[in-house]
Amino acid sequence: MSHDKTIVIATRGSALALAQTNGIADVCRSAFPDLRFEIKIIKTTGDKLQSVPASASVQPLVKGLFTKELEVALLNGEADFAVHSLKDLPTELPDGLTLAAVTKREDVRDVLIYRDAETALRTPHSALRTGLEPHTAIRDFPDGATIATSSTRRQAQLLAVRPDLKLIPVRGNVGTRLRKLAERGEFDGLVLAAAGLNRLQIRISAEGKLTRGKDASATTEVPEGLLASHLPVEEMLPCVGQGAIGIEARNGDERIAAICRRLDDAETHACVLAERAFLRGMGGGCLSPIAALAEMTGDRLRLRGVSFQNGTIRRGEVTGVSAESDALGARLAAELKA
């Protein structure tokens, strides 16, 4: 149990998780100068599986593998709240825990990363020896190009646009994946979340080049010769909760609840509640590729969703007041399952 004036924040130890958690801790220290905030790094089952070659299993990582150990620490009183990429947090939480806050959302889009012509020519075993021009869209990739992503959601939406693409799984942290693309030529393109790149201070220049930011917190190396383009949400609807950080805490802990209220962004919270209700209505942690995005205008919430099951694509959209986020998500799920 932490000391009265020490708040223990649980997090994974990846570069992205630490970037997110350090940002949260900085906000907390500024808002609550009389408290001490300590970061506790916990290795999850998902972290251990990241080192397993993607080819060793054809199944994607199951939801909860990146959160369970953090939740155990919360329930055991070893941490006061946990910081998650909200897309990793299952829709059903353990008894005694709650989604106490959701921070302001980052860019929800996915990013397509690929080699420029010079880099492609010197990459061994490259399938795409000619390289690509800046700002290349997925529709303009050469026939049969190989794209790396382990996400069934991304795979299904890529194939909906380009059924000729070859898709392969990929594991490892962001830096490892970028090196595989730039140096090994195992694939022609890579899809990553824009929010994760932004939090790691990895930027896309006006010329379409992928670069490392100049901030001292930019520690992930970015190989030279990589280009990047944002995938429009009309082609690549994001994962539920993508771009948002979720704060999980114990029910009934008013001291931590007061801290979480300072971290919470009401608009983002309403949007992700709708998305999570939709995912829960579609089966929660099922492996079928499901995507959703909620956006607000005033007090009106628009929720779009897509489901790919048994070779069938189902798309839908509902609108309503933000106070009915859960009901809107459940309604859209019912419509797509009808």
The residues that are catalytic are: 88
CB contact set of 155 (below 8 Å; sequence gap of 6+): 149, 167, 289
What does the buried/exposed string (b/e) look like for 154-183 if buried means 16 or more CB atoms within 10 Å of the residue's CB? bbbbbeeebeebebebbbebbbebbebbbe
Instruction: Please give the backbone phi and psi of residue 181, each rounded to the nearest 5 degrees, phi first.
Output: -70, -45
Residue with tokens 């490259």: 126
Q: What amino acid is encoded at 90 in this protein? A: P
**What is the sign, positive or negative, of the torsion defined by CA atoms of 128, 130, 135, 136?**
negative
